[in-house]
Structure 1
Amino acid sequence: MGIFDKIFKSDNEEKNVEKKQISWIEIKQMEMLDEIVEASKHHPVAILKHSTSCGISRMVLRQFEATYDIREEDMKLYFLDLLSYREISNKIASRFNVPHQSPQLIVLSEGKVIYDASHSEISADKLKSIA
């Protein structure tokens, strides 16, 4: 929270802000890519590739989380920390034939990429039409 937010935002406004909790599944092992493909055969899955050192990526993540409202049983969300797991990010790019971007949202259905967006094109609202 910035200094101007502290000055101009009342305590009541802060208490009334509902924080959404998203059940991210962290990708930490290469073998999880097989799990993701298998899960996509039952319903769409999304992979968010995020750079923890990038301000733009952090802003996109915050906006995505604030607007995401798809039920967990309709779409699983996977999260990849690019800096910690660069090798997995490279494998995602080659396995699914999607050029690497950061931040990047990739949606799979039936084991195939059906949607791919990066930077400001990443939108939770777009996923509603896919789920």
Structure 2
Amino acid sequence: MAELNDLQSNEQLEQVWERSAGQPVLLFKHSTTCPISAGAFEEYQTFLNSADDKVDAYLIKVIENRDISNQIEAETNIKHESPQIFLIQNREVIWNASHTNITADAITSALQQA
């Protein structure tokens, strides 16, 4: 089972980018007030419950940590959406999805193709 870590600072985000050089990293942007985001977060948790520890998993609560969410948008040049997930390897986004496209199966497939 992969451990889910909360990102709460831009410094932690920089560490995540650095970690992606060693193994894949998942970043999940979650709106704590949105039912669509809640459904996508359940899918993310379903994936994490069956995943091994060869992937680092992170959560950004976009309302509470908007500056981190904005930094991700600036660094990736990918328009902000919520919910949104990124698969990062070697400091590059190699896959991303949003809203109902975030499923445990989609995440698994993206990691298999990485």
> Would you say the 8 A contact 1:22–1:65 is kept in 2?
no
Are positions 1:103 and 2:83 aligned together?
yes
Deviations 1:45-88, CA, capped at 9 Å, x for gaps: 0000000000110111113312442212x101000000100111
Q: Which ranges in structure 1 are unaligned for 5 or more consecutive residues?
A: 1-20
CA RMSD after TM alignment: 1.5
Q: Which has the higher contact order (CA 8 A, sep 6+)?
A: 2
Where does residue 96 of structure 2 map in the other structure? 116
- With normalisation by structure 1, the TM-score equals 0.78
TM-score, structure 2 length as denominator? 0.88
Structure 2 runs not aligned, ≥5 long: none
Structure 1 residue 103: Cα displacement: 0.1
Pick from 63, 66, 70: which aligns with 1:83? 63
The structure whose residues are more often helix, as a share, is 2
Q: CA shift at 1:125, angstroms?
A: 2.0
* Equivalent residues, number: 110
Structure whose alpha-carbon radius of gyration is higher: 1
Task: Give a deviation string over 1:81-123, Cα, whole Å, max 9, x none.
Answer: 0010011101100111111000000110000000010001112
